[in-house]
Amino acid sequence: MSDQGEDQGRIVLVSDPGTEDIIAAALAQTGQAHQDDVEHAIALFRSRGRDFPTMRSAIVCLAGVLEAERGLLKVELLNKDSGALFDIANNFDLRHRKVGQKTDYDPAFLEWLFDWYLSTINLVRKLRATTA
C-alpha cells in the first residue's frame, strides 16, 4: 500500500529495493518543479495492472521532466551524457513513436530506464539545490 504520492492509499507493485529507494527520494522532494509529473509517472509505473504501455507512459512522462531540465543537464553533465538520455527516449519507440525506432525489447529495459530517468531527476534536483 502506497503511503505517499499520487497513489497514496492504493495497492501498488513493489519493485526491487533499489527502485523503491529511488522512488522514495523522488517523493520526499515535495514542492519541486514538475513534482506532479514525477508523482504521476511513479503512480503509473507502480500500478497493479501495469503493462508495457503503462510502463512506457511513465517513462515518457519522466522524459518530459528531463526535457524541461535539458539546459541544466547540458551544463552539468558531459554533452554526450545528456544526449544519451534523449537518444534513448527518441529512438526506442517511447516518445515520438516513429517508423524505424527500436521496438523489440524486453520490459526489463523499461524498468532500467525508469530507474535511470528518475535517478537523473533526483540528480537534477540536487544540482539545483547546490546552485541556488
Q: What is the pLDDT of residues 20-33, one digit of tens each?
A: 899 999 999 888 88
User: What is the per-residue pLDDT for 34?
Assistant: 94
User: What is the per-residue pLDDT for 74?
Assistant: 83
Given the C-alpha cell 529507494, which residue does it identify?
21
Q: What is the pTM of this model?
A: 0.81
Q: How many CA atoms lie within 13 A of 65 on its CB side?
A: 28
Quick check: 100 pLDDT over 70?
no
**Which of 84, 93, 72 lies closest to 117, judged by CA?**
84
Given the C-alpha cell 524486453, which residue does it identify?
106
